[in-house]
Amino acid sequence: MAPDGHAPLAPNVYDADPIPDAARAEIDRLLTSGDLFRYTAPEGAPVALLEAEFAALMGSRYALAVSSCSAALFLSLKALDLPRGAKVLIPAFTFAAVPSAVVHADCTPVLVEVGANYRVDLLDFAAKLPQADAVLISHMRGHTSDMDAIMALCDESGVPVVEDAAHSLGTVWGGRKIGTIGKVGCFSFQSYKLVNAGEGGIMVTDDPEIAARAIIMSGAYEQNWKKHPGLQNSFGHWQNKLPLYNLRMQNLSAAVIRPQLPEIADRVAKGRANHDWVADRLNQSPHLAVPPALPQEERAPDSIQFNLKGDWSDDEALGFQSSAKKLGITVQVFGLSEGNARAYWNWQFLGDLPDLPQTRAMLMRACDVRLPARLTESELGYIADAILTAVRDVKD
């Protein structure tokens, strides 16, 4: 083992990707002028350009760049104009920031069971939908829940759907881009997502009223909404009637994000190929199972999730984790790492938590390994071999 604690050949999957060189000149210009606030320039501010480019990329009418995906989720719920205490269905497998955004928006999250394939359980969803005022679908780790079934059920009962596409930039469902199927789609530019700005988020919608309300609440105070294209009547109507939460993005973030947009397609293709290559190897073990993509789904993974298959005790699962660690590969069993923010029983801020046996069983045996798109075939081979060796350490 190397002195830094890494096994000598293990790739470091936690390093972020470098920012394209094209960002430097623009950042330099911004530093020289000091023009970092999105609403100072009369037009053409980097944040406004990012919004136009992202809306075009997604084929959406409106895009609003904000400080994080969590801020985008919060604003989406606020912009739906739900009554205080409204019930919002969310999958029980997601990141703690998602139920937090629901609480922040004065709504009550209702957790829906998730199956062994990490996707919303449609029976539990249909059973809980009658009590819901809105639905927030988190495509956790880029796994798309059945959006055809979910949209059919929600359209029938008139319940609006927000998509948490934080980890799904580039994913396609039945030919449609994830994040454009529900009323609003929210994306993240946090460092461990496909586009890295340290922090940042963006929401897209085709609904002019939702766009106008979200833009004003994000902090377009006084006449600043005039710097967003279209919508004059809607803005005029909502001005001064909504709180200003000040969740704006600043120009430096947009300058870091914009040169990455042309790289998305390439990162998606590489990430998918890497994922599928490692998945094929892991599926050769009788003790592991990588759930396949759904038939309508073209994924954009930057990590891999797999289940410990058959009879595994907690001790065996922990032994597997530590064997992999000795080989330099961090495998996280979601439910077995202390205080994991993706294990719903740790969301104590919600108060009394329901028991969700199906989601719990999945979390206790589902493993998470990062696989950034930049990895080479030999690095992928190292990771797959280390996982298989760690399984054999415990199971043979």
Ligand X SMILES: *Cc1c(COP(=O)(O)O)cnc(C)c1O
CB of 319 to ligand X, least distance (A): 28
CB of 29 to ligand X, least distance (A): 26
CB of 331 to ligand X, least distance (A): 18
Q: What is the DSSP letter of 374?
A: T
CB of 289 to ligand X, least distance (A): 22
In the beta sheet, which residues pair with residue 176? 173
Q: Which of 76, 117, 138, 359 binds ligand X (CB under 6 A)?
A: 138
Q: Is 305 helix (H, G, I), strand (E, B) or coil?
A: strand
Sheet of 332-333, strand order: 288-289, 303-308, 366-370, 332-333
CB of 179 to ligand X, least distance (A): 12
CB of 231 to ligand X, least distance (A): 25
Q: Which of 75, 77, 97, 333 binds ligand X (CB under 6 A)?
A: 97
Q: Which of 68, 76, 234, 323 binds ligand X (CB under 6 A)?
A: 68
CB of 1 to ligand X, least distance (A): 31
- Alpha-helical segments (H) within 204-284: 208-219, 232-238, 251-257, 264-282
CB of 247 to ligand X, least distance (A): 11
Distance in angstroms (rounded) separating the CA atoms of residues 184 and 186: 7
Q: Which of 140, 197, 252, 304 binds ligand X (CB under 6 A)?
A: 140
CB 156 within 8 Å of CB 279: no
Span near ligand X by CB under 6 A; candidates 95-103, 227-235, 314-322, 385-393:
95-103
Q: Which of 100, 117, 145, 188 binds ligand X (CB under 6 A)?
A: 188
CA distances from 289 to 18, 44, 178, 383 (A): 33, 49, 25, 16
Span near ligand X by CB under 6 A; candidates 12-20, 93-101, 144-152, 370-378:
93-101
Sign of the CA dihedral running 380, 384, 390, 393 = negative
Sign of the CA dihedral running 118, 119, 123, 126 = positive
Distance in angstroms (rounded) separating the CA atoms of residues 53 and 263: 13
Kindly state whether residue 135 participates in binding ligand X, applying the rule CB under 6 A.
Answer: no
CB 197 within 8 Å of CB 189: yes
Question: If you search the block for the tokens 């359980």, which residue do you land on?
Answer: 121
Number of residues that bind ligand X (CB under 6 A): 15
- Nearest to ligand X of 78, 167 (CB atom): 167
Near ligand X in 280-309, by CB under 6 A: none
- What the block records as the tokens of 64 is 């609003």
Sign of the CA dihedral running 86, 87, 91, 97 = positive
Kindly state whether residue 218 participates in binding ligand X, applying the rule CB under 6 A.
Answer: no
Q: Which of 167, 227, 248, 258 binds ligand X (CB under 6 A)?
A: 167
Kindly state whether residue 372 participates in binding ligand X, applying the rule CB under 6 A.
Answer: no
Q: Which of 75, 98, 195, 327 binds ligand X (CB under 6 A)?
A: 98
Q: Which of 91, 201, 271, 335 binds ligand X (CB under 6 A)?
A: 201
| CA dihedral angle for residue 337, residue 340, residue 346, residue 347, rounded to 10 degrees | -170
Span near ligand X by CB under 6 A; candidates 159-167, 260-268, 343-351, 368-376:
159-167
Kindly state whether residue 100 participates in binding ligand X, applying the rule CB under 6 A.
Answer: no
CB 82 within 8 Å of CB 94: no
CB of 144 to ligand X, least distance (A): 12
CA distances from 207 to 194, 235, 249, 355 (A): 26, 13, 21, 36
- What the block records as the tokens of 118 is 């990490």
Residues that bind ligand X (CB under 6 A): 68-70, 94-95, 97-98, 138, 140, 164, 166-167, 188, 190, 201
